[in-house]
Amino acid sequence: MINFKRVIKQGIINFWRNGIISFASLLVMVVTLSVVGALILGGSMLDAGLSLLRDRVDINIYFRTDASEKDILALRDSLTAIPAVKKVDYTTREEALSDFKDRHKDNPLILNSLDELSDNPLGATLAVRADDPSRYEDVARYLEENPIMTENGINIIDKVNYYQNKKTIDKLSKIIDSSQKLGFAVALLFAVIVVLVTFNTVRLAIFISKEEIAVMRLVGASNWYIRGPFIIAGMLYGLLGSIIVVLLFYPATSWVGGATANFFGGINVHNFYLQNLVQIFGVLLLTGLFLGAISSFMAVRKYLSL
């Protein structure tokens, strides 16, 4: 316990003693963690934006006007039971007519034409949302393979707009797949850069103390006793760097919050940042502590082998 306290104390002393080098190492850590934080926020915002797009994409099933509500509800229940289907919304004929009138309330010609008709010309509809855009083809195939017929032997489904929306659905699926691959590649690239930059910066701080390391080895200090203060100093870089980045992100996200709300369909990065502040700080803190500790551990190895 005495040695542990000495290691911590010496690590703090090393941090303050090497003023310029500590400042440079801390600056690199801040930049590094800023990149990590930006990747976290960017990836989360992209996922939220894509989820919003997923929820807005669906396929509509339009029924004949003579289709019975019993058959439509039976089809709705069977679609809901499909694992790929997330939600099925039922719109009755009366609701469809009311919505149509609301959409064309400024067009008296259309409204007058509807009043001339003796019956409601619109059929009921089902709006089907899948958990993934690529699964809509399964729904369309299910409808083709399991038709429901009227008493006259005619399919109660008048039209399914899947094939009209297929290009949009396929494009969204490609965007989601490409964004996930790109996000992984960018994160991996920055992780390598972060480790290299942090390693070399901490190594510079250790280079200044190489003679001190040599003397400690001559008097019989263990490798862990020598390495310990540098690891503590590296973890201090991570601790202070994560606190600085969290403080800097508050005004930065506030500044770009309005722009992200417009771009991501109402998702404000500043609000997202505040709602997930504890988790973001936790990730940054653990990342900073890990990078500082592992970089110091690796950088001091060279001088322990001299």
273 has pLDDT over 70:
yes
Task: Choose between 268 and 287: higher pLDDT.
Answer: 287
- Pair (278, 216) in one structural domain: yes
Domain boundary among 120, 155, 190: 155
| Residue 40: strand, helix, or coil | helix
122: confidence class by pLDDT, cuts 50, 70, 90: confident
4 has pLDDT over 80:
no
- Pair (28, 78) in one structural domain: no
- Per the domain annotation, does 84 fall within a domain? yes
- Per the domain annotation, does 166 fall within a domain? no
How many domains would you assign to the chain? 2
What is the domain-level CATH number for residue 112? 3.30.70.3040
Whole-angstrom Cα Rg for the chain: 31
Tokens standing for residue 89: 């919304």
- Pair (137, 275) in one structural domain: no
- Beta strand pairing status for 59-63 and 85-91? unpaired
- Pair (274, 225) in one structural domain: yes
pTM of the model: 0.60
- Pair (180, 242) in one structural domain: yes
- Per the domain annotation, does 161 fall within a domain? no
* Parent domain of 207: 2-53+172-304
- Per the domain annotation, does 160 fall within a domain? no
Domain boundary among 121, 155, 189: 155
Give the contacts of 85 (CB within 8 A, at least 6 positions apart): 79, 128, 129, 130, 131, 135, 139
Q: How far is CA 270 from CA 12, 44, 45, 261, in A?
A: 35, 12, 11, 9
Per-residue model confidence (pLDDT) at position 198: 65
- Pair (102, 176) in one structural domain: no
- Per the domain annotation, does 140 fall within a domain? yes
- Pair (292, 204) in one structural domain: yes
